[in-house]
Structure 1
Amino acid sequence: MIAAEAAGHSAGAFPLLSALIFLPMLGTVGILFTQKSRPDYAKLIALLTSVMTGALSIWMLKEFSTDESGFQFVSQHTWIEQWGIGWHLGVDGISLFLVVLTGVLFPLVIVGIDPHHDEKPYLAWLLMLEAGVMGSFLSLDLFLFFLFFEIVLVPMYFLIGGWGYENREYAATKFYLYTFLGSAFMMVGLIATAMLARDDLGKVTFDLVEIAEGANFAASTGRWLFFGFAIAFAVKVPIFPLHTWLPDAHTQAPTAGSVVLAGVMLKLGTYGFLRFGLYLFPEAAVWSRSLWLTLAVIGIIYGAIAATMQKDLKRLVAYSSVAHLGFIVLGTFAFTSQAISGSVLQMINHGVSTGALFLFVGWIYERRKTRQIAELGGIQSVAPIFAAGFMIVMLSSIGVPGLNGFIGEYLILLGSFQSARWWTVVATAGVILAALYLLWAYQRVFHGEADDDNKTFPELRAKEAMVLLPFIAAIVFTGVYPKPLLDRIEPSVEVLVTHVEENSSLTQPDIGTQRGEFEAEHGDDHGDDHGDEDESHDEGEEHGE
């Protein structure tokens, strides 16, 4: 009863996107059959499957065509025919680097972080989490997306509750209840969306592209449906004032949980707004933009101020995520190609920079058994290489020119100023505050004279350096030469913005050529052909975004 309905892009008959999901699942099953007395077998299986998944994601990046704005490597099969549910996967410029980041991040976490106890279930939960995150970024079916969106809650709950710190049970429960409640709204919304779209489509389907391109919701109906999805995404980001679960979850989670949570899991919310909110309900998204811009700016300022007041270094980094993700939401609802491209790029930048910061905080805790800033100090004098690595990551998080954080924030602010001027002016204060709390934290932790407890602080180890190297390379490369990333992101973003314009009252501000000011400053010789879109669409591979 299951028939293939679409072929992949240049990957031929090989189901590349399905493999990215099923490989970690197979690894989970394999770990369950290993003997508890041989945790090295579980580690080997986890490492092999995660490395293979990462290698496939990099191969996908290499084969990804910059000349196409639509979905590539599409895999579409009928799953539950009578309900209109399908196994529909695809990747475009908006999801491409999120998939690659997921593929690369998990093997680094598995290699670089020791769980200290119960390694077998720990690794199994990590691989299940990877499969859920991959599925969420690749799904083009509403039901399939919801399935993977919910799957990620379970392994993260057990990772926090089983391998976290002193208040781990409270943090895990709070995380689960917040995100599960938000998902309940989305479940109602996606069922209602499929049922109401039936009148226009002539059938029940959960296919994202079919509904977005073929359904015509009344304005009031679309707004209710949009908020059903938006509440779930706002909790997952999280957007102020739904953010209170995040500092607790980050602080109490094991280092691997914090790295994955910051690196890719929070992006399920910001990605969800782009892929499902704006694409399915453009009129509602434009109608409600003032609300989201205001909440984004509040989150930027509040997160920065709260971070400045923290005594726990890990909690400080957690609040910095609230501020950085506020910038991503600001760019998303500015509705310019420049700002949305910056938001997509900043999703990657935040995942790299903040993920690396949590790695450093975890290594500090392993060495000193404390994260209290007042109990640290003088580390730079005894571990200069460790301090130098932390400084590079910290400066990228601040947004110093030449590092990755600057590029994303620059594009967001530049694009948002055209359509959300006063929100952008207020948000700029967040850049200044980020420099304040991160530089002050660095000064207190690394400068000064080391006391007796910190004099024996170990230097960066070889294994830690190997894990850190890909983060540093991504930070520097993206900061110096972002063109390869933007070449792949922008075509899909421009198609999405065009779709929103055609289905709402949105009018793009006249800002000249795309990225003109950015290219003039950085000497980027960029083509003008990104707006060209393939006019031919078929059901198996629709440009959609």
Structure 2
Amino acid sequence: MITALLLFWPALAALLVLLVKGQGAKKVAFIAALVEFALALFATSVFNSQSGSFQFALNVPWVPSAGIGFIIGMDGISLLLVLLTTFLVPLIILSSFKHNYKDPGVFYALILFMQTGLIGVFVALDAFLFYFFWELALIPIYFICAIWGGERRIPVTFKFFVYTIFGSLLMLAAFVYLYFQTGATATSAHSSSLLAFYDLALNSSAQGWIFWFLFIAFAIKMPVFPFHTWQPDTYAESPAQGTMLLSGIMLKMGIYGVLRWLLPVVPLGVSQWTEVVLILSIIGIVYASVIAIRQRDLKRLVAYSSIAHVGLISAGIFTLNEQGLQGGVIQMLSHGVVVTGLFFIIDIIYSRTNTREIASLGGITQTTPALSICFMVLILASIALPLTSGFVGEFLLLSGVYQYNGWMGAAAGLTIILGAVYMLRMFQGVMFGTKSETTNSFADLTLNEKAVLIPLVVLVFWIGLFPNTFLSISEPAVHTLLNVIKR
């Protein structure tokens, strides 16, 4: 029941927000998002962290004649991503309070509808239900970017839409094929449930092409090199809240899809192509990091840094060892928190100076102690400083990659070195030096801005200092996943 409530509450709240006139819509949306977070905390409090099975499950026939069910539930991996989503959405809504978007009821309703799609992806245990929510999450963010984005929003959003639809069609084709492979005997019917897919025993040839259909669909969303080209432009042109939703939560859909629907469903296909994926992921780490060093626009720099971080997560989870998988899960949390904070700070800077060009900024730290501290904490977490959230995830990921192949581990480790170069250079150029005309009267954080950034900073240290709070939740689910993969 709690899973269904988590799933449907944002959609019901979105309908309510649509009825609210004027700027009051943002307050109603914020309260609704806080209620959703409270529901997630309650689910966590009653969750059995010793079990790797799906809990709070609901199985209702959806298309019973075809063996398609409305099946939802959560294991430790799902729960952590639901927590991340419900934690970030109210902060993202709160971050928008300083903006007066046109048609606010529609804007905030779309955010809540998107939250329903995101939660649905993380709790769906039926392939076609997963696909339904996968597509549902795309529709609100498309309109958020297309209506409230920058000058180039239409062509950029269209490119994003085409990329994701192409990947979705590949995923649907793979699911349809897998569906028809179930029920192979006269006594069993076709089924699209996750467990039915796990029970399939396809030959290596079939698993090989299904692997690529699913991997491309998930790699586009993450994104992994060379399926990343939609991302920097989309991040740059989206409104701040759209960018935070895309980077903080939506890209986790792709990583989660790999964990839930790729690795355990086609293990023979994974074993055939693991090295190729690792090579692509490591190329993406180095390529995106080098491009980030050359960026002069703050949003595009953080966008490319996100590609590098996701490349490391991809490499880690495809090693198929516990360190890599656990590192991938904890790094999803860390990346979501850190990148949301960084994009919010960029929005703060842009709203005060009307520029994102590093060369036009400087000297901000002289009058902004609160902003400087929050910004530096997020930068240090991004470059994996010990005691921050980034260190835990990257240490486990690099350990997993190194166990798989020492040379690949060394190459993947470049993400820390190159990340330190472009992130610290960015901080130096923006915050230190002499003031420019655009930063001459730069004000420190408002109360509203502190209310967004302080919880993010607290979570950076919480994950860094007490990682077992989260690792203990996902560990049984990771063990179960490994058993399914190696069955």
TM-score by length of 2: 0.97
Regions of 4+ moved over 4 Å: none
How many angstroms does 1:359 deviate by?
0.7
Give the aligned partner of residue 93 of structure 2: 110
Question: Residue 57 of structure 2 aligns to a residue in which SS?
Answer: strand
Partner of 1:421 in structure 2? 406
Amino acid at match of 1:205: S
Deviations 1:175-220 (A, max 9, x none): 11111111010111101110112216821111011220x2211211
Q: How far off is 1:267 after superposition? A: 0.6
Q: Is the aligned partner of 1:273 residue 2:258?
A: yes
How many residue pairs are counted as aligned between the two chains? 484
Q: How does 1:150-161 map to 2 (within 5 A)?
A: 150-161=135-146
CA distance in 1, matches of 2:5, 2:368: 42
Residue from 473, 483, 486 that aligns with 1:498: 483
What SS does structure 1 have at the residue aligned with 2:182? helix
Q: Which residue of 1 aligns with 2:439?
A: 454
Partner deviation per Cα, 1:44-97 (whole Å, 9 max, x = no partner): 331232111111111111222121111111111111101211111111122211
How far apart are the structure 2 equivalents of 1:74 and 1:55?
A: 19
1:88 aligned to 2:71?
A: yes
Matches within 5 A, 1:92-241: 92-114=75-97, 115-118=99-102, 119-199=104-184, 202-212=188-198, 214-241=199-226
* Contact 2:265-2:485 within 8 A present in 1 as well: no
Residue 319 (structure 1) aligns with: 304
The Cα shift of 1:318 comes to 0.3
Q: Which runs of 5+ in 2 are unaligned?
A: none
Match of 1:251 in 2: 236
State the AA in 2 paired with 1:22.
F
Equivalent in the alignment of 1:67: 50
Contact 1:197 1:216 in 2 (8 A): no
Is contact 1:299–1:323 with CA below 8 Å preserved after alignment? yes
Q: Verify the 8 A CA contact 1:259 1:354 in the aligned structure 2.
A: yes
Kept in 2, the 8 Å contact 1:334–1:420? The answer is: no
Letter in 2 for 1:39: Q
- 1:6 aligned residue: none
Tell me the equivalent position of 1:441.
426
Tell me the residue number matched to 2:267. Answer: 282
Q: Would the aligned equivalents of 2:62 and 2:68 in 1 still touch at CA under 8 Å?
A: yes
Task: For residues 212-268 of structure 1, give each alpha carbon's deviation from its aligned partner in whole angstroms, at most 9, with x where no partner exists.
Answer: 0x2211211122222221111010011101101000111111111111111110011
Residue pair 2:292, 2:300 contacting (<8 A) in 1 also: yes
Query: Which has the higher mean CA deviation after the structures are superposed, 112-121 or 202-211?
Result: 112-121
CA–CA separation in structure 1 for the residues paired with 2:91 and 2:483: 38
User: Aligned partners of 1:350, 1:43: CA distance in 2, in Å?
Assistant: 26
- 1:278: how far off? 0.6
Secondary structure of residue in 2 paired with 1:306 = helix
Deviates more, 1:112-121 or 1:289-298: 112-121
In the TM superposition, what is the alpha-carbon distance from 1:290 to its structure 2 partner?
0.7
Secondary structure at the aligned position of 1:239 is classed as: coil
Question: Percent identity of the aligned residues?
Answer: 36
Three-state SS of the structure 2 residue aligned to 1:238 is coil
Query: Which residue identity lines up with residue 395 of structure 1 in the other structure?
Result: L
Instruction: Say which of 24, 29, 36 aligns to 2:10.
Output: 24
Higher mean displacement: 407-416 or 215-224? 215-224
Alignment partners' CA distance in 2, 1:303 and 1:116: 34
* Counterparts of 1:76 and 1:48, CA distance in 2: 30
For 1:55 and 1:499, locate their aligned partners in 2 and report how far apart those are by CA, in whole Å.
32
Aligned position for 1:260: 245
Further displaced range: 470-479 or 417-426 = 417-426
Structure 1 residue 485 displacement after superposition: 0.9
Instruction: Find the counterpart in structure 2 of residue 328 from structure 1.
Output: 313
> Counterparts of 1:478 and 1:31 in 2: how far apart (Å)?
33
Q: Deviations over 1:348-396 (max 9, x none)?
A: 1100011110010011111111101111101011212211110100100
C-alpha distance in structure 2 between counterparts of 1:256 and 1:168, whole Å: 14
Q: 1:361 & 1:164 partners in 2: Cα distance?
A: 15
Aligned residue identity for 2:237: Q
Q: Where do 1:5-84 residues align within 5 Å?
A: 15-35=1-21, 38-40=22-24, 42-84=25-67
Q: Distance in 2 between matches of 1:216 and 1:232?
A: 22
Written as runs of structure 1 = structure 2, the 5 A alignment for 1:457-536 is 457-502=442-487
Aligned-pair distance for 1:121? 1.0
Q: Which has the higher helix share?
A: 2
Structure 2: distance between partners of 1:475 and 1:429? 22
- 2:370 is the counterpart of 1:380: no
Corresponding position: 1:343 with 2:316: no
Q: Which amino acid aligns with 2:363?
A: G
The one-character-per-residue Cα deviations of 1:487-511 (angstroms, maximum 9, x if unpaired) are: 1111111121122122xxxxxxxxx
8 Å CA contact retained: 2:182, 2:196: no
- What SS class does the counterpart of residue 17 from structure 1 fall into? helix
- TM-score, normalised on structure 1? 0.87
Match of 1:527 in 2: none
Q: Distance in 1 between the 2:413 and 2:19 partners?
A: 53
Q: Per the alignment, in what secondary structure is the counterpart of residue 458 of structure 1?
A: coil
